[in-house]
Amino acid sequence: MAFNLGLKSKTAEASFSISRDALTRYIKAVKGIIPQKTTVPILKFVRIYYKNGDGYMRVSDTECFADLSLQGIRGSGEIDLAVEYTALESMLAKAPRSSGIFLVEREGNNLTFKDNTLVCGKFAGVNGQDCPSYLVANKPTDVRVAIGDKAKYVSKYIAPFCIEDEQYTALNRVLLEVDGDAFGFAATDRHALIYTLPLIEEPKHRYALPTKAFKAVALYDADCTLCVDANTYMFYNDLFVVYGKNQGGGYPDFHKLVFRDGFDHEHKVNVKTLRDELNRLSGILPHYKEFCPVMLTYDSEYLGVKPVPEDYAFDKGGVKMDSIKLLELMKRFDDNSSVTFKSAGNINRPTVWADGKAVTLFAPMR
């Protein structure tokens, strides 16, 4: 609810203004970093800091920190308070659409957000210094790559392959490999594996980076630079910094399974056509949504798909696949794209799906 009040409070000890667009963009970008469940309440708070014309907003789950630089703002006094993320998110959803600029005021430990004569939200804050921090004296120097807007691609197509795995704990993160100016990203769920092109044959550096960092950077929709060393990773540009401490646990060499020759079949496949065919099967086959083996069949011009019994005896006419996982794989390609499908005579070898940006290995059913 909004109340009709004056723009400036006489009791405000400090204040600054911020655009609704900037605040909304930040709140959306860091949503994936705020933990859904935690025994540490402060991790659900956003730290808001302002002093002498400089300021930032920060969230963290102790693995990943995201700082938004509050650029071009004007104000007075000092603010260093943390308020609940969900409270800010709710305020933005309910504030009048006419709200273009918020005036943020501190009175004691309370923060008030105003739009002209309306109070859009008033929150009880806690000391910002109680929030977790990770001090980085200098940017990491072992690796520095200009990834441009690739964080968006990694977030959409690479990160979905990451899984929680007790044996290989690093599989819940994205692998970065670097050799000079060349770099690539990889991820696997141990059934399928994706690796961006070009393939790095002999990487000099390998790091496993949290998926939530890529997702936060992707939502800013801006080019950035990535710096990494043995202790710290950091994505940055003039608007934001997303960083944290590198976690232990080595990444397995599953991606070395990428093979380059020995294929018996190669076809161009329209992603939408194959996806529609798999979806069509879901309407006519019982229990399809739980499990359904299918056979990829091919001749000189066409790659087809047909349902087969679970105990189907493999022959040379095709590749036996899990249709549910294959459909999930197809969802990770653009609708109107074509991919190159390759398979080998050995039924235990993965099939390969490549679209010019990345290569995906997909294991056949045994």
Q: What is the pLDDT of residues 43-75, one digit of tens each?
A: 999 999 998 888 888 999 988 999 988 876 888
Query: Same domain for 156 and 236?
Result: yes
Residue 138 lies in a domain: no
Query: Same domain for 51 and 169?
Result: no
How confident is the model at residue 10, as a pLDDT? 63
Q: Which residue did the predictor score with more confidence, 20 or 185?
A: 185
Query: Same domain for 183 and 283?
Result: no
- d(Cα 267, Cα 68) in Å, to the nearest integer? 46
Q: What's the number of domains the chain is made of?
A: 3
Query: Which residue among 196, 223, 257 closes a domain?
Result: 257
> Which residue has tokens 């161009």?
268
How confident is the model at residue 209, as a pLDDT? 93
Query: Same domain for 154 and 247?
Result: yes
Query: Same domain for 13 and 120?
Result: yes
Q: Which residues, other chains included, contact 162 with Cβ-Cβ below 8 Å and sequence gap of 6+?
A: 171, 172, 173, 174, 187, 189, 211
- d(Cα 329, Cα 143) in Å, to the nearest integer? 31
Query: Same domain for 12 and 95?
Result: yes
Query: Same domain for 28 and 97?
Result: yes
Query: Which residue among 130, 155, 172 closes a domain?
Result: 130
How confident is the model at residue 346, as a pLDDT? 60
Residue 137 lies in a domain: no
Query: Same domain for 296 and 350?
Result: yes
- d(Cα 233, Cα 270) in Å, to the nearest integer? 38
Task: Return mean pLDDT, the chain.
Answer: 82
Tens of pLDDT, residue by residue over 4-33, are 334 456 678 899 988 888 888 888 888 889
Q: Which residues, other chains included, contact 9 with Cβ-Cβ below 8 Å and sequence gap of 6+?
A: 105, 107, 112
> Which residue has tokens 């969230």?
59
How confident is the model at residue 344, as a pLDDT? 72
How confident is the model at residue 268, as a pLDDT? 85
Residue 135 lies in a domain: no
- 53: domain CATH number is 3.10.150.10
180-183, long-range: CB within 8 Å, 24+ apart, which pairs? 180/204, 181/145, 183/143, 183/145, 183/147
Residue 14 lies in a domain: yes
Query: Same domain for 122 and 9?
Result: yes
**What average pLDDT does this structure show over 295-304?**
66
At 222, which amino acid appears?
A: A
Please tell me the number of Cα atoms within 13 Å of 134 on its side-chain side.
21
Query: Same domain for 204 and 318?
Result: no
DSSP state of 94: H
Residue range(s) defining the domain that contains residue 36: 3-130
Q: Does residue 242 carry a pLDDT above 50?
A: yes
How confident is the model at residue 298, as a pLDDT? 66
Query: Same domain for 53 and 34?
Result: yes
Query: Same domain for 159 and 195?
Result: yes
Q: Does residue 263 carry a pLDDT above 80?
A: no
Q: Which residue did the predictor score with more confidence, 356 or 316?
A: 356
DSSP state of 187: E
Supply angle C-alpha 168, 173, 179, rounded to 5: 100
At 343, which amino acid appears?
A: S
Q: How far is CA 97 from CA 2, 94, 103, 120, 300, in A?
A: 12, 9, 15, 11, 58
Q: Does residue 141 carry a pLDDT above 80?
A: yes
**What average pLDDT does this structure show over 216-237?**
90
Which pTM value belongs to this model? 0.81
Residue 136 lies in a domain: no
Query: Which residue among 99, 130, 161 closes a domain?
Result: 130
Residue 338 lies in a domain: yes
DSSP state of 68: E
- d(Cα 288, Cα 326) in Å, to the nearest integer? 13
